[in-house]
Structure 1
Amino acid sequence: MTERGRHAMRGILVQIPRNAVECFFTSESLDILNDLGVVEWNPYDRPFTEQELLERIQGKHTVITTWKSAPISEAVLAHADELKLIAHMAGSVKPILPSTEVYRRGIRVLNSNYAIGVSVSESVLALILTLGHKIIPVDRVMREGGNAKSAAYETYELRGRTVGLIGLGMVAREVIKLLQPFGVRILGCDPFVSEAQARELGVVLKPLRELIAEADIVSLHAPKVPETFRMIGKEELSLLRDGALLINTARGDLIDEAALVEELKKNRFYAALDVFVLEPLRADSELRRMDNVIVRPHLAGVNPDSRLRIGTMMVEEIKRFYNGDPLRFEVREEQLDIMT
């Protein structure tokens, strides 16, 4: 059988809604995907239901999923007689894996954390610079007809500061790359990173409270797991230096939000928050009205550029899978426990 003939036998099911396809795929990535097998597209402008998925999954080698896709449940797996690969065009795979049965069946799983993390790391740097340079309050004063050229609005430079990263996973490592030109000292806290690995990253490992007390800028990158629930509480917040910057683009549950509000009322430090305990952020939240806080509606990782990056990188990864090459973005079962 020819190579093209073998490709024609591969069934690829795309769960992405019809009206979102152009958000993820360029014409080039579509050509590559179509060359890899027979692609069946979602005909609806919405995700499949579980019933619609299980009716289509028989004979499919690969299923492409994204945010709000129907999970690969055990009922779906009962019909997935040929399934070898789940390519998740989003971050955490937990929403689409209600159980670990896929691993029992030898099905391999991919996710797009790296493609998203590139955008998150840029957002972290942007938020640090925006807070430090007081861009928003200065702009507000100027728009109101005032003159913000005073000591209260002087720039807080990033160059030469000490930055503490809580969690040293993929996003934090991209942040480290972006911070290098600023000559900062980087502290890290992560129970899964050894001293040798930290040295390789150019990071000094510290216990959580020591890191918070010593850093000028603290950025959270830990996953949402039981061990990290409200890891930043009243006592930890009290350790932040006067004038410090606190950035959270990870998960809202990492911080005791009520304690954060109370500490921010003291006007000792500044915060930039992209995530909250409840999302969307309540309309009456005090965080919306504080001058020393930047609030964003969980925008750090997903934008038009990152969606296309997700699509391009995932199609390349599917091609690597079919070519028998090592996979770069595989999610192994043992990784699930430390994923958000």
Structure 2
Amino acid sequence: MRTLVTIADAGLRDMFWHDRVLDKMNRYTEVDFVPLDARFTSEQLAERIGDYDACITSWGSPFFTSEVMARAGRLKFIGHGAGSVASIVSEEVFATPIAVTSANKVLAHSTAECAVSLMLAGAWDHAGYSTRLRQGRWSVNNRETVLGVTRRVIGLVGYGEISKQVIRMLQPFGATILLHSSYCPPEEAEALGVQLCGLNELFERSDIVSLHNTWTPRTEGMIGAEQLRRLRDGGLFVNTARGPIVCEQALVAELRTGRISAALDVYDHEPLPADHELLHMPNVLCLPHIGGFHGLLKRELCEFIVEELGRFAAGEPLQGRVSLEHFRRLTPR
């Protein structure tokens, strides 16, 4: 078997291809890498792909255009050492025998941890107390309270690898977890210990709402004024998914009232301008889209794909295989 690794970025190459990964890979495939720090294009991929049985990609890898696919006569495996494969393939690949897999399961742990950390930081008003302390204001222990997470009602919007991990991470807190998704069968929800409900009902019943949908034309703007006004007084809205799923103007308007708070990692337009109103609201905690930054997990992304390649070579089921149905639900590139 011959494998082409189309990761040209030196930083990513250094992070991903440590000795343990290379040792695993050399057991069952001959490996070639594209040149470091030179932009490797789809045209160049088309010229080389005909010599390979497998291709490993990540952030910055070229897209598998129709020309690439036409020349990929030997190709049987595409492994994406990142999350969504929408940045590298189209539906065309799913009409071929090529197996497409991604390390989304690994990356999901990082984003889930970020989401839960934002729930905790927002529900405990870490940013607010830190700011007030720097201003010389101490707390009043016998009078002040925080929302907290323990035994609260937490609503999750969207069901996938990230929300599955969030559900697992929240178990020790004894929270009641609501879920809005058309992709989670009732028997699966029951097994997870969550309650399926409608979107408006979820907002009405929740103390904390966390968004985990993918951004598609169907989900764009699905959270608007109608939903946000239903969130309980003192409630917290968390978004680690994508900004355009929420009507940002409606969110800002609701936050201006001071009735709810928010903890956000994603926005309509990124980078978020320094003068954006969200950055100057006392009831908003903003992060610069860091949900996938967990260092140890990022190092494991291509290790997972190399292990997937090993499973593929052995004829074993793939743990991160992407189906056409799943692909159609991904955020477009």
| Common fold by TM > 0.5 | yes
Q: Deviation of residue 153 (structure 1)? A: 5.5
Q: Which residue of 2 aligns with 1:287?
A: 278
* Matching residue within 308, 311, 317 for 1:326: 317
Counterpart CA distance in 2 for 1:312 and 1:50 is 24
SS in 1 for 2:50: coil
Counterpart CA distance in 2 for 1:311 and 1:88 is 8
**C-alpha contact (below 8 Å) 2:224/2:250 kept by paired residues:** yes
TM-score by structure 1 length? 0.93
* Matching residue within 175, 187, 190 for 2:181: 190
* Matching residue within 50, 70, 73 for 1:58: 50
Query: What is the 5 A alignment of 1:206-245?
Result: 206-245=197-236
Counterpart CA distance in 1 for 2:94 and 2:185 is 28
Going from structure 1 to structure 2, the CA distance change for 1:18 and 1:209 (only over 3 Å counts) comes to: closer
SS in 2 for 1:247: strand
Q: Which residue of 2 aligns with 1:138?
A: 129
Counterpart CA distance in 1 for 2:142 and 2:83 is 42
**C-alpha contact (below 8 Å) 1:16/1:47 kept by paired residues:** no
Report how many aligned residue pairs link the two structures: 330
Going from structure 1 to structure 2, the CA distance change for 1:78 and 1:240 (only over 3 Å counts) comes to: same
TM-score by structure 2 length? 0.95
Q: Which residue of 1 aligns with 2:118?
A: 127
Query: What is the 5 A alignment of 1:147-226?
Result: 147-149=138-140, 154-226=145-217
Counterpart CA distance in 1 for 2:142 and 2:236 is 18
* Matching residue within 59, 63, 83 for 1:91: 83
Q: What are the superposed Cα offsets for residues 56-87 of structure 1, whole Å, 9 maximum, x if unpaired?
A: 21210111111121001111122212110110
Going from structure 1 to structure 2, the CA distance change for 1:18 and 1:229 (only over 3 Å counts) comes to: closer
Going from structure 1 to structure 2, the CA distance change for 1:251 and 1:46 (only over 3 Å counts) comes to: farther
Unaligned 5+ segments in structure 1 are 1-9
Q: Deviation of residue 18 (structure 1)? A: 5.0
Q: Which has the higher contact order (CA 8 A, sep 6+)?
A: 2
SS in 2 for 1:338: coil
Q: Deviation of residue 168 (structure 1)? A: 1.9
Residue 189 of structure 1 aligns with an amino acid whose one-letter code is H
Question: Aligned pair 1:77/2:69, yes or no?
Answer: yes
Q: Deviation of residue 101 (structure 1)? A: 2.1
Question: Aligned pair 1:38/2:35, yes or no?
Answer: no
Question: Which piece of structure 1 moves more, 208-217 or 11-20?
Answer: 11-20
Counterpart CA distance in 2 for 1:76 and 1:250 is 31
After superposition, the CA RMSD in angstroms is 1.5
SS in 2 for 1:187: strand
Q: Deviation of residue 26 (structure 1)? A: 2.9
* Matching residue within 301, 320, 335 for 2:326: 335
Counterpart CA distance in 2 for 1:194 and 1:125 is 24
Going from structure 1 to structure 2, the CA distance change for 1:314 and 1:153 (only over 3 Å counts) comes to: farther
Identity %: 38
Counterpart CA distance in 2 for 1:226 and 1:55 is 34
